[in-house]
């Protein structure tokens, strides 16, 4: 299964240099890295990243994360993946830009498991 992280391009570039993503400020504050499923990405982008430019969508192999990945209720009781550890760059399948469209909403790339 693939889960997804939305973050700034600068934060992801730093993670690639270090080999791990330790989290964005909201992740560090909450004590876990917020992730989304394919079906949750667009809503997450709209709710938490509205109008933000220079974002990337990071596709992560959930199975590699082990017991540090927990499914917990969030918006409306839906279960969201939360990572209680640093995210190893080696667990990433791909990254893609998450640009803003002309309407101000993010254009979510295909999140098929390719």
Distances (CA, A) of 92 to 3, 79, 109: 10, 21, 16
Is residue 102 situated within a structural domain? no
Q: What pLDDT, in 10s, does the model give residues 52-85? A: 999 999 999 999 999 999 999 987 888 999 999 9
Domain range for residue 15? 2-97
With H, G, I as helix, E, B as strand and everything else as coil, classify residue 67. Answer: helix
Closest CA relative to residue 58, chosen from 85, 82, 35: 35
Looking at the domain assignment, is residue 56 inside a domain? yes
pTM of structure: 0.92
Residues 6+ apart with CB under 8 A from 103: none
**114 within a domain of the structure (yes/no):** no
- Let me know if residue 113 belongs to a domain: no
Task: Please give the pLDDT value at position 77.
Answer: 85
- What are the CA-CA distances from residue 89 to residues 13, 46, 58, 59, 65 (Å)? 11, 25, 10, 10, 11
Q: CATH number of the domain that 69 lies in?
A: 3.20.170.20
Per the structure, how many domains does the chain have?
A: 1
pLDDT of residue 36: 96
Q: Is the per-residue pLDDT at 114 higher than 50?
A: no
In a domain, 17, yes or no: yes
Closest CA to 3 of 114, 111, 78, 76: 111
Does the residue 59 lie in any domain?
Answer: yes
Q: Does residue 112 belong to any structural domain of this protein?
A: no
Contact 74/107 with Cβ under 8 angstroms? no
Tell whether 107 is covered by a domain. Answer: no
């Amino acid at each position: 299964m693939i889960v997804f992280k939305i973050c700034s391009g600068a934060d992801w570039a730093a993670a690639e240099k270090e080999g791990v993503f330790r989290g964005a400020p909201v992740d560090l504050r909450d004590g876990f890295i917020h992730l989304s499923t394919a079906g949750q990405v667009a809503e997450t982008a709209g709710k938490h990243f509205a109008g933000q430019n220079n974002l990337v969508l990071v596709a992560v192999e959930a199975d590699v994360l082990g017991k540090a990945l927990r499914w917990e209720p969030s918006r409306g009781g839906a279960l969201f993946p939360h990572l209680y550890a640093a995210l190893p760059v080696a667990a990433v399948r791909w990254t893609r830009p998450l640009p803003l469209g002309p309407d101000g909403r993010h254009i979510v790339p295909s999140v098929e498991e390719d």
